[in-house]
Amino acid sequence: MANGPLGVEEASNFRKVVASGDIQGDGPHAIAAGGADLVLVRTKSGPRVFEGRCPHQGALLGEGELEGGDLVCRNHRWRFDAGTGQRKGGPECLRACPVRGAEGALEVDVSPLARDRATQKPTRRIEDLPGPRRLPFFGNFLDLQPARMHEVFEEWATKYGPMLRISLGARQVIVLSDPKLAEPLFRGRPETYRRMSPVEQIFAEMYAAGVFSAEGESWRAQRRLAMEALSQRHLRGFYPTLENVAHRLHRRWTKAAEGGETLDLAEELKRFTVDVTTLLVFGHDLDTLEGKDDDVIQRHLELVFPAFHRRLNSVFPYWRYFRLPQDRRLDHALAELHAWLTEVISGTKKKLADDPSRAAKPANFIEAMLAAKDAEGQPFPNDVIFGNALTMLIAGEDTTAYTLAWAVHHLCDAPAAWAALRREADDVLGAALVPADLDAANRFPFATAIANEAMRLRPVAPHFFFEPNEDVVVGDVAVPRGTGIVALTRFPTRDAARFYEPLAFRPERWLDAGASGKAHDAAAHVPFGSGPRICPGRTLALVEMRVVLAMLARSFDVERVGRPEDVKEVLAFTLVPEGLRVRLKKR
């Protein structure tokens, strides 16, 4: 048999993964074959293809970077030699796949990735697990008050241990609070595990079927586009726009400070994040911060996540049979959002038709989706484009805004941390009001530590929902296909064995990172999720957080209105800081 271009014996199971002309630059490029995620890089000796998931926590290496001759994982900066796959500074080595060129395409043999599955023997059934008493028909639905569901889960985990059983109606559900039990679930998506199936259906009913709710090959194609829109390269070019929006926020807050206004901080921050997101996703300047009609779209958006949370946790899908007033309000909001987005998308289509060269270098996410092809080489259908636009708009608004609001809430009771943030802001910014470029925005280690600490104590997603696509073993428990699984992400970060003084706001712990010998288990901290489906917007979110925290500390004093205990955690799919109001004073 002849040898292929990498000196490996050709096999009969090569399969086309991508047209050669579709691979621009050295990479890394996320590709897939035979249900396996792969990463492709170009080296001096030719193309190399490796298993596509980092051996650390399963992140997609195709979403990483090439630095010199190293393939760098985006999550925790693990480095691998791009030619050999050997990890720099560790024993791990990425498995390589033979690759060859054939008729204008690249073909890959994924057989080296085949490995025997662990023959783990279960010793228990779900019925053997402890858990709270269940009522006939309802199960534990009535115990799970939607607004404090996360707290109920945490109370049960404290009482019944790291793996417990509940039921939602007739459906059995496992609740996990040990991150070691949950890690294989994050890593095993989308093949072995998926989101709970109602998620996909409910999002589709609300016209938001996109990368968040997609599964399988549909998810892979949409994920690539989302990651490109949110890539470090794209964010560098987008940063001047983000800087401009931050200046708008500064002007708005200066006016509020001069007028002695009391601000709903979460609402203020959502104006900032929705302006950033609409510009990034659509290239459209909504300007909710300084515009005259500044809150119409935002008022519609704020109904969507709470409605999804409410429907996901309903014992009966009543909305499919009759509409309550809250459902009619949602219908109106979705209709208005659909009309607005349809107009934006139609305008983008016209731009692409008038200037076809834009398709080669799309300026925003919508242009990229309209120019791209799905796994079958077809344009994405309109409902997928609309669903992704709405998903990115909603997710980009709430999550970052609420994390920033929680950070400020804790800073109001942490004068030492506030003083340290102010020193950092003064040192880095000098006379500037906001960071001048992306490099400057990334020079805020203490602001980053504050964001991490806020996400540890108040993660916007305190738990994740899973469902196995096949019969699996979780720990030592046999779990049938389709069983609901809830993985608690905040609970382990409040464990003294993993983080010292776990209930205290200590941003400095992220700078020390365990060097002092104090408990610091960073692997238990997964505010953006983990594995291949880790949040694609995490880089943008952290940049936004650093920019706002630096601007705030540089220019203002902050006073919370009311007592700390008046600010309540309310779960409305994301963790909302209800009742957080502040007054700002100019420095």
Six-digit token string for 188:
């095993």
pLDDT at 19: 60
Of the listed ranges 62-66, 185-189, 404-408, 567-571, the one predicted with least confidence: 62-66
Mean per-residue pLDDT, 376-393: 82
**Res 119: pLDDT:** 57
Distance CA 98, CA 116 (A): 20
pLDDT of residue 22: 61
pLDDT given for residue 1 in this prediction: 34
- Quote the pTM value: 0.87
User: What count of Cα atoms within 13 Å lies in the side-chain half-sphere of residue 372?
Assistant: 24
What does the pLDDT read at residue 292? 57
CA distance 304 to 301: 6
What CA–CA distance (Å, rounded) separates 146 from 152?
Answer: 10
pLDDT value at residue 364: 82
**Residue 181, CA distances (Å) to 184, 185, 419, 515 in order:** 7, 8, 39, 26
Euclidean distance between the first and final Cα of the chain, in Å? 76
pLDDT at residue 11 is higher than 50: no
Lowest mean pLDDT among 1-10, 237-246, 258-267: 1-10
Residue bearing the bigger pLDDT, 102 or 540: 540
How many angstroms separate the CA atoms of 493 and 522, rounded?
9
With CA atoms as reference, report the closest residue to 209 among 464, 396, 467, 390. Answer: 390
Distance between CA atoms of 555 and 432, rounded to whole angstroms? 10
- For 167-217, write each residue's pLDDT tens digit: 988 889 999 999 999 999 998 888 899 998 888 889 888 888 888 888 877
Per-residue pLDDT band for 503 (boundaries 50, 70, 90) equals: very high
Output the six-digit token pair for 494: 């409040």
Res 2 pLDDT > 50? no
> pLDDT value at position 75?
76
What is the average pLDDT across 389-402? 86
pLDDT single digits (tens) 442-490:
999 999 999 999 999 999 999 999 999 999 999 999 999 999 999 999 9
Are 472 and 479 in contact by the 8 Å Cβ rule? The answer is: yes
| In contact, 428 and 313? CB cutoff 8 Å | no
Residue 574 φ/ψ region, left for φ over 0, alpha for ψ in the -120 to 50 degree band, beta for the rest: beta
Q: Which domains does the chain have, with CATH numbers?
A: 15-113 (2.102.10.10), 216-586 (1.10.630.10)
- pLDDT of 411 over the 90 cut: yes
What percentage of the chain has pLDDT greater than the value 90?
A: 49
